[in-house]
Homo-oligomer: A and B are copies of this chain.
């Protein structure tokens, strides 16, 4: 009795366009990712060896390897020496990104709304100054926003930004998210340090979020840096835990 092919090697219809300005390895990576997403490449299936794949596409092996490596870094593929490259079994959708609440809600199909309650310039407190890396009492922007989904308050967002970085228009802040505004202004976000905790609501917080005093709240503090290392934003957010939780996927770095 022949052994069943549990992990068949899949042959795909792959093509690259050499006249395109898009790098070849990137074109290949996109097609492979699409094939995985689409289901043409099923979990566990082998990808065929790199040499033959390169020959079939008319590419060199380093180029093919670069494409595969980018998907390995994303957690979609697993390489095994002497075995081959196969699609990861688990349902890895997307690794953790530096996400904004606005984008999260929008992609979840909720229509987020924002009320800008404060949009002003204040002298930096000690905590804000330390987070942003400026001197105490330096003037910084302060915005406070109430984020709603389906008309219900979901989070209260307090943010501080160095002045001069961005002109914060209240109308724009109500129409989109802060991160999107920063990116539009040409700021390249690079990394962020964040802390997630919980505590009971103060009277003022309870009022704003329509919760009883002392109700459990989910809290998040985040300092975001651009690629030059400047702190570009310090946020202090509180969330209603019945309406929101942090969900994300992690990859293990070997």
Contacts and interface: CB of A to CB of B under 8 A. Distances in A.
A86 to B, nearest CB: 9
A45 B198 CA distance: 39
A190 interface: yes
A111 interface: no
A88 B229 contact: yes
Contacts of A62: 62
- Output the residue of A197, A199, A214, A244 with the most chain B CB within 10 A: A197
B249 A193 contact: yes
Interface string A84-100: 00001110100111100
Interface in A183-230: 189-200, 214-218, 225, 227-230
A191 B229 contact: no
Contacts of A88: 190-191, 227, 229
A56 interface: no
A98 B250 contact: yes
Interface residues of A, number: 49
A241 interface: yes
- Output the residue of A78, A97, A193, A217 with the most chain B CB within 10 A: A193
A192 B250 contact: yes
A85 to B, nearest CB: 12
B198 A217 contact: yes
B90 A198 contact: no
A194 to B, nearest CB: 7
Contacts of A227: 78, 88
Given A249-B191, A252-B191, A229 B90 contact: yes
Contacts of A225: 89-90, 92
A200 B199 CA distance: 10
A200 B228 contact: no
Interface of A: 43-44, 62, 73, 75, 78, 88-90, 92, 95-98, 189-200, 214-218, 225, 227-231, 241-242, 244-253
5 contacts: A90-B191, A92-B191, A96-B96, A196-B247, A198-B241
10 residue pairs, one from A and one from B, having the closest CB atoms: A89-B229, A197-B245, A216-B216, A198-B198, A198-B241, A90-B229, A198-B218, A90-B225, A196-B246, A195-B247
